Structure 1
């Protein structure tokens, strides 16, 4: 496959995303006013609760079987390593650059997560159709197995994204709102100083999430004696993980795995003679709206982001360097090592998928999370703009390198 042919194949889905995002930006301008802030929030909730779960269920129930899950077990480890190394490098970048506290989670999440479903669902079948690819001459078989790889990648990536990245963005929202509350309290204190508070007491803010808050003063010794036990912290952490695993996308992935792995359940939904095929068709119809809706919202957020974003250029450069230089090199080492140890099948397309997972731009679901928690939306849009622009070149270069290695 020639370089310019590969350039066209790899950049086409990214260009499509940029075009749809531009349309979303135009819809959010004062000229049209179709994607206001409230509209984008409502649409994001629909994407989170309906569209994304539908897309994951429709893809997994159709393309992934139990045998596939057993044979492709290393993909779970591989995606976990992308989050591990990306999150570690993102954490180092945060410590060096010292961004605003509410941006720390966004930066680490963008470094750790990748677009493990949407882009692969477009890129892999397109690569399989090209003559001269290292994945065999049977384009139809390559496209079919590639779709299965991409679907499994999307589901496993969704699991990590809606647990790890979700928690990072949620923590950023807590920091952001705590900062706003602190500034508000400081303003009140400056206007009405309270001389009754002594140095031997600690002021606690109890905020139940409403606009009203209660400020109480406790002696220092009493506060220290009421520290939560380690067991209580562990229980709370497990409860938090369980709560995040119950998110609609994760539940849909589990159900999709179940229907795909159990033949008689799969026969109820999949196939021209399936008695409940209308359900699968309806779910797929809903899932098809995921990518355009997310991209339109991303473009709408971009309008405000370009006006009011506090994101520094050094932060954007650091994320791009981590995503498109450090992680792909690490990915090549991980896959070659796993292959040398006999942990992978001999399919070069499978090896290609594992490598390309380290070179993808940030997951678009992060934009949904920032909208859900109402934090760092503008910064997320600007960060996505530059990372996806650079991805047009980066994906092409690394795809060429990966295919050359696997040829």
Structure 2
């Protein structure tokens, strides 16, 4: 397959994202006014609660079996390594660039969380169907590649809605704390300078109360009874894990794994003769709306982001370098090492998918999270714009290198 043919294949999903984003930007513009902020927030909640869990369940229940999970055991580890290495690089970049505190989690998430879903679903079958594909028979390649991509999407969603979700949530807490501090400082500055001694006395009392309120969590955490109780710590940790697992997208992935791996449950909803196949069809129909809605919201946020984003240009350059220069090199080393150690099946397409997982632009669901927690939407949209513009050339070039290495 020639470079320009591969370039065309790799560019198609990127162009789709950019075109739909432009439509979202137009719908949110002052001329159209169909996607104002309140509408975007409501639509985003529907994506979070309904569309994304449906997509996770439908893709997993249909394409992944128990045997697949055993055979492809290295893929969850490989995706975990993309998050680990990308997260470490993002953390280093944050320490060097020192962005605003509430943007730290966003930058780390952008470096660690790749678009492991819809891009692979388009790119892998397209490469299989091209003349001169190095991965054998096109029909077999497309079917197997679709399973790889679906498994990757489900695993990626699980990582994103646990690790990335917590990072964005922490960023929102930092933003709320910053806003509260600024509001308190503004109130203090606006107080009457000619106040009476009684007013100053009340002011001192108020400040003392504020200090007490602020210090309450610290005093509570140092309570000997609570600090000495291992059960309290374990219960708190388990409660946090349970909250993460009960997030709708994670719950959809877990149910998808259950229905995909248990044969009798799978036969209830999957296949032309399944008695409850209408459930799978309905869930899939809902899931198909996920990517278009996320992309429209992304484009709508881009209008405001270009006007008011506070992201530094060096942060944009840093994210692009991490995702499209450093991570792909790490991916080649990881996959080649795993293959030499006998950890991978012999299928070169599986090796190719593992390498591509290190080369993808940031996950679309990050935009959903920033909208959900109302933190960093503008900066997120700007980062999306530049990473996806860069992705077409970067993904094409690295895919060519990967196929050359594997053949």
TM-score greater than 0.5 by the shorter chain: yes
Aligned to 2:227: 229
Q: Which runs of 5 or more residues in structure 1 are unaligned?
A: 206-214
Aligned to 2:95: 95
**Pairing 1:3-402 to 2, within 5 Å after superposition:** 3-136=3-136, 138-192=137-191, 204=210, 216=213, 225-226=222-223, 229=227, 231=230, 232-402=232-402
3-state SS, counterpart of residue 186 of structure 1: helix
1:203–1:218 Cα contact (<8 Å) kept = no
Change in CA separation of 1:194 and 1:348 when aligned onto 2, cut-off 3 Å: farther
Give the TM-score normalised by the residue count of structure 1: 0.93
Whole-Å separation in 2 of the counterparts to 1:174 and 1:219: 18
1:202–1:218 Cα contact (<8 Å) kept = no
2:352–2:402 Cα contact (<8 Å) kept = yes
Change in CA separation of 1:220 and 1:113 when aligned onto 2, cut-off 3 Å: closer
Whole-Å separation in 2 of the counterparts to 1:220 and 1:306: 39
Change in CA separation of 1:51 and 1:326 when aligned onto 2, cut-off 3 Å: same
Change in CA separation of 1:349 and 1:102 when aligned onto 2, cut-off 3 Å: same
Change in CA separation of 1:203 and 1:150 when aligned onto 2, cut-off 3 Å: farther
Change in CA separation of 1:40 and 1:195 when aligned onto 2, cut-off 3 Å: same
Whole-Å separation in 2 of the counterparts to 1:367 and 1:153: 20
Whole-Å separation in 2 of the counterparts to 1:239 and 1:222: 22
**Larger deviation, residues 259-268 vs 77-86:** 259-268
2:24–2:297 Cα contact (<8 Å) kept = yes
After TM superposition, give the deviation of residue 189 of structure 1 in Å. 2.0
3-state SS, counterpart of residue 135 of structure 1: coil
1:202–1:219 Cα contact (<8 Å) kept = no
Give the TM-score normalised by the residue count of structure 2: 0.93
Whole-Å separation in 1 of the counterparts to 2:53 and 2:217: 48
Q: Which runs of 5 or more residues in structure 2 are unaligned?
A: 192-198
Whole-Å separation in 2 of the counterparts to 1:220 and 1:387: 40
RMSD: 2.1
1:302–1:378 Cα contact (<8 Å) kept = yes
Higher helix share: 2
3-state SS, counterpart of residue 132 of structure 1: coil
Change in CA separation of 1:217 and 1:272 when aligned onto 2, cut-off 3 Å: closer
Alpha-carbon displacement from aligned partner over 1:121-177 (angstroms, at most 9, x marks no partner): 1111111101111211x2111111111111111111111101110000000000001
Alpha-carbon displacement from aligned partner over 1:286-306 (angstroms, at most 9, x marks no partner): 111111000000000000100
